[in-house]
């Protein structure tokens, strides 16, 4: 997250009740937020929604033996979707806070010190939010992998789409973590090293699940 362009839009948007058209218009506009961080969180939300949808299609009479697992997956996926939407809001708020911190006065030593502290705190929070999105992507991918062997084969491609969405959530979050960490001192940025390693693992798992779904479709 580099220093955002100055804009008259100073408040972070809310995504839970926004229409798709309004979200896309805001995303396309020359405003600080939403941006790539919100997109990453909404990738996760879409992946979670796809997992929940496939699970709900796996409640036929023939699926009765798997019903406890399916019910758990539905509950977990719905909760992940809600958290991911909240993270989209949190990312927009974090981006707005970074912009506000950079605008603080710096004419006196006290003001400069306060501004520096505010920028650091805002950048740390701006990295924490995509790190939380990585957590959601990890869980969504795990749920998708668990669902694949027992899910309704008529919607198996949606499991692959969920894996792809989780992958996109993780890799987009990686970019946002990296750019924020680049502006922090090493001891502050190092706390995110483990998350960045997990992104690489998520990418590999998602690619594997995508291949498994393709195999299922082509078999």
pLDDT band at 174 (very low <50, low <70, confident <90, very high): very high
Cis peptide before 34 (omega within 30 of 0): yes
pLDDT digits over 47-69, tens only? 999 999 999 999 999 989 999 99
List the structure tokens of 115.
């501004």
Nearest in space to 98 (alpha carbons), one of 120, 130, 114, 113 = 120
| Mean pLDDT for the chain overall | 91
**Residue ranges covered by each domain of the chain:** 37-218
Q: What is the mean pLDDT of residues 102-128?
A: 94
pLDDT at 56: 97
Rounded to two decimals, what is the model's pTM?
0.89
Q: What is the mean pLDDT of residues 8-18?
A: 61
Q: What is the mean pLDDT of residues 107-113?
A: 94
CATH of domain 37-218: 1.20.120.680
pLDDT digits over 92-106, tens only? 999 899 999 999 999
Contact 120, 188 (CB under 8 A): yes
């Amino acid at each position: 997250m580099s220093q955002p362009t100055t804009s008259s839009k100073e408040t972070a948007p809310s995504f839970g009740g926004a229409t798709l058209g309004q979200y896309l218009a805001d995303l396309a506009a020359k405003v600080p937020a939403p941006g790539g961080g919100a997109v990453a969180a909404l990738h996760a939300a879409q992946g979670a929604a796809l997992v929940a949808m496939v699970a709900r299609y796996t409640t036929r009479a023939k699926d009765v033996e798997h019903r406890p697992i399916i019910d758990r997956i539905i509950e977990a996926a719905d909760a992940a979707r809600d958290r991911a939407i909240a993270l989209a809001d949190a990312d927009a708020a974090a981006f707005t806070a970074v912009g506000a911190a950079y605008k603080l006065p710096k004419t006196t030593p006290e003001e400069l010190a306060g501004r520096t502290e505010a920028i650091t705190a805002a950048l740390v929070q701006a990295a924490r939010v995509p790190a939380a999105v990585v957590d959601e992507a990890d869980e969504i991918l795990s749920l998708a992998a668990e669902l694949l062997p027992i899910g309704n084969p008529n919607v198996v491609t949606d499991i692959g789409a969920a894996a792809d969405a989780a992958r996109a959530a993780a890799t987009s979050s990686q970019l946002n973590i990296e750019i924020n960490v680049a502006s922090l001192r090493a001891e502050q940025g190092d706390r995110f090293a483990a998350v960045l390693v997990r992104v690489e693992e998520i990418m590999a798992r998602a690619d594997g699940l995508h291949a498994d779904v393709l195999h299922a479709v082509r078999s």
